[in-house]
Amino acid sequence: MKYPIGIQDFEKIIKGGYVYVDKTALIHKLVTEGSIYFLSRPRRFGKSLLVSTLKNYYLGKKELFKGLAIDALENDWAEYPVFHIDFNGNDFTQAGTLKDIIEGSIASWEAEYGKDPNFTNIGRRFSYILEQAHKKYGRRAVVLIDEYDKPILDVLDTGYATTIEGEKRLLEDQHREILKGFYSVFKEADEHLQFVLLTGVTKFSQVSVFSGFNQPADISMDPRYEALCGITTEELYQYFDEPIKSLAQKYRYTEERMKGHLRSQYDGYHFGENLIDIYNPFSVLNAFASQRIDDYWFRSGTPTYLIRLLNHTQENLNELTGKYYDPSQFIDYKADVEMPLPMIYQSGYLTIKGYNMRQNTFLLDFPNNEVKKGFVTIVANDYLDTKTDTGSWARDVVNALEAGDTELFRKLLTSFLADIPYTMRRKDNEREKERYFHYTFYLLMRMISCYTVYTEKQQSEGRVDCIIETPDYIYIFEFKLDGTADEALQQIEEKGYALPYQSDSRKLHKIGVSFSSVTGTVDDWEVM
């Protein structure tokens, strides 16, 4: 089996004999039920392949679709004028790059369709091109724009600037203005447009980018198109039965256990109220090609713009995850508001995990272990500023817990906390001290949970600070700041935190931990 890793050209995939997960039934639905769309999906999630498939469809290349679902659905194959701009692969931190790309595209289209010397701005020139293409073909034009938001994301919150006519301007503002002028053509040229699709990671609010644009139908959370990108569970088993069996054999797993491993590592994305399970296609294809379960998607890019945004906000990850939100809180990103949630969600680091139909709210959390481990580790390294390798530390902790070695865990925890610079934990008031320690342990336990089971359960008598489960042991932790370990253990007993595990055959450890706000590390530790 040939895997199209890094190949986003539909024609190349089909002619090259690469595996293609057939999305053409949904594509046929897309082109027949609407005309102007916007789709947000995380990076490396198949957006570019979707655009390429649409391009070949509108170019009338019927032979490429032979045997696919659309072959039986489409009766009127025709060639349309197609205008395609891909903002991928360009460095927009360099002033002038965006203008050069758009100007170059416009100039090449003018060479084919003609130029009106009376039109000088980009929007009017493009509108004239679309009109002439309509006249030449006798069919309205198709416009496909891939990763429309990359020119903004590259410079978002960087402070990069340029000088225009002696005036200093932020590249972020300049790029937004250029794109707004370019996209405004879609309103003016509506009669000459057959189909428009813009893809990107983030949906910026209409006031910042889409002003003057006939508002596209945002299908990012449309239940009809949840599976338009990515790989569903059914598709995974249909197209990749053999590589799953091969991986299971290599890891000495049963086939069902390997399916479960793939699910926890790469599944968990949901893009609408139907909660259709979607696997990360980039990670899945890499895992099958290399016959190795690893962190492929996260390693392929660092979310630097997210880290920049998180540094501006007072909200911690534990205050963002595991909560229900109104869609308006995470769909549109308003660049003038320091609110990281929409960016985190749309970038794929959080996803929908539940839906309350009555209230129309969505539960957001990490999609899978690959994302959770990578993102939490980066945030932890940035927040704690420790020299300790957090990934290696988490694995050492899990090994200790799986062996039932509470003393080793105490030593590992103590040394890790001691390595955090004093300047990171120095807080001016008691509330901030509490908040710092709470967030520190949230990050540490989230990292540990990538290798074992971590829960923060709401019990009838209150919330347990931390429960960690391994195949042979259960650990119930209660943490105190500037208290005593005995006080922590007493709370575990009084609140009955261990009662749900009375019939569990695994060995139970109750651990009370006290931390010192002065030393920043473990001050008292008792195990029952």
For 523: left if phi > 0, alpha if psi spans -120 to 50, otherwise beta; the answer is alpha
378 in any annotated domain? no
Question: Domain of 129: which CATH number?
Answer: 3.40.50
Q: What is the mean pLDDT of residues 139-161?
A: 92
Could you tell me what percent of the chain has a pLDDT over 90?
Answer: 64
Contact criterion met (CB below 8 Å) for 307 and 164: no
Per-residue pLDDT at 324: 95
Token digits of residue 458: 């709401």
pLDDT > 60? residue 212: no
Per-residue pLDDT at 382: 80
377 in any annotated domain? no
Question: Is 53 in the same domain as 190?
Answer: yes
Provide the CA 457 distance to its chain's centre, in angstroms.
Answer: 26
pLDDT > 90? residue 331: no
Question: Is 64 in the same domain as 162?
Answer: yes
Provide the CA 319 distance to its chain's centre, in angstroms.
Answer: 18
Question: Is 489 in the same domain as 403?
Answer: yes
Question: Is 140 in the same domain as 83?
Answer: yes
Question: Is 398 in the same domain as 323?
Answer: no
Nearest to 449 by CA among 394, 524, 516: 394
Question: Is 355 in the same domain as 219?
Answer: no
379 in any annotated domain? no
The Cα 350–Cα 240 span in angstroms is 26
- Place 456 in a pLDDT band, splitting at 50, 70 and 90: low
The number of CA neighbours under 13 Å toward the Cβ of 26 is: 15
The Cα 74–Cα 24 span in angstroms is 10
Mean pLDDT of the chain: 89
Question: Is 447 in the same domain as 523?
Answer: yes
pLDDT > 80? residue 308: no
pLDDT > 90? residue 196: yes
- Place 208 in a pLDDT band, splitting at 50, 70 and 90: low
Q: What is the mean pLDDT of residues 327-343?
A: 78
Q: What is the mean pLDDT of residues 406-423?
A: 90
Question: Is 133 in the same domain as 240?
Answer: no
Question: Is 358 in the same domain as 451?
Answer: no
Helix residue spans in 40-121 (DSSP H): 47-58, 69-73, 97-113
Per-residue pLDDT at 402: 94
Alpha-carbon distances of 190 from 10, 186, 214, 481, rounded to whole Å? 28, 6, 8, 63
The identity of residue 460, as a single letter, is S
Per-residue pLDDT at 429: 72
The Cα 443–Cα 318 span in angstroms is 8
The pair phi, psi for residue 152, each rounded to 5°, is -90, -45
The identity of residue 320, as a single letter, is L
- Place 343 in a pLDDT band, splitting at 50, 70 and 90: confident
User: By residue range, what is the domain housing residue 291?
Assistant: 231-299
Per-residue pLDDT at 232: 98
Per-residue pLDDT at 272: 94
Q: Over the stretch 286-296, which tens digit does the pLDDT of each residue have?
A: 999 999 999 99
Q: Over the stretch 480-523, which tens digit does the pLDDT of each residue have?
A: 989 999 999 999 999 999 998 999 999 999 999 999 888 889 99
380 in any annotated domain? no
Question: Is 58 in the same domain as 133?
Answer: yes
Where does a domain end: 194, 225, 256? 225
Per-residue pLDDT at 210: 62
129 in any annotated domain? yes
The pair phi, psi for residue 351, each rounded to 5°, is -145, 175
164 in any annotated domain? yes
Contact criterion met (CB below 8 Å) for 441 and 397: no
The Cα 408–Cα 314 span in angstroms is 34
Per-residue pLDDT at 509: 96
Where does a domain end: 299, 316, 344? 299
Q: What is the mean pLDDT of residues 468-478?
A: 91
The Cα 454–Cα 41 span in angstroms is 28
Per-residue pLDDT at 425: 63
Per-residue pLDDT at 462: 53
pLDDT > 50? residue 54: yes
Instruction: Show the 3-state SS of 421-443.
Output: CHHHHCCCCHHHHHHHHHHHHHH
Contact criterion met (CB below 8 Å) for 184 and 156: no
Residue 369 is inside which H or E element, if any?
A: helix 369-384
Q: Over the stretch 59-107, which tens digit does the pLDDT of each residue have?
A: 999 999 999 999 999 999 999 999 999 999 899 999 999 999 999 999 9
Where does a domain end: 164, 197, 225? 225
pLDDT > 80? residue 130: yes
What is the DSSP pairing of strand 82-86 with strand 361-365? Answer: unpaired
DSSP state of 269: B
Q: Over the stretch 366-397, which tens digit does the pLDDT of each residue have?
A: 999 999 988 888 888 888 888 888 888 988 99
- Place 460 in a pLDDT band, splitting at 50, 70 and 90: very low
Query: Which of these ranges, 115-119, 263-267, 400-404, 433-437, has the smallest mean pLDDT?
Result: 433-437
CA dihedral 176, 181, 185, 187 (to 10 degrees): 70
Per-residue pLDDT at 420: 85
pLDDT > 70? residue 428: no
> Which distant-in-sequence residues (6+ apart) come within 8 Å of 116 by Cβ?
125, 128
Instruction: Count the domains in the chain.
Output: 4
Q: What is the mean pLDDT of residues 332-340?
A: 68
Question: Is 315 in the same domain as 258?
Answer: no
The number of CA neighbours under 13 Å toward the Cβ of 329 is: 12
Residue carrying structure tokens 């429309």: 148
Q: What is the mean pLDDT of residues 154-181?
A: 88
Alpha-carbon distances of 114 from 62, 105, 110, rounded to whole Å? 29, 13, 5
Buried b (16+ CB within 10 A) or exposed e, 26-40: bbbebbeeebbbbbb
Per-residue pLDDT at 164: 84
Q: Over the stretch 273-286, which tens digit does the pLDDT of each residue have?
A: 999 999 999 999 99
165 in any annotated domain? yes
Question: Is 193 in the same domain as 311?
Answer: no
The pair phi, psi for residue 69, each rounded to 5°, is -55, -40
Residue 58 is inside which H or E element, if any?
A: helix 47-58
149 in any annotated domain? yes
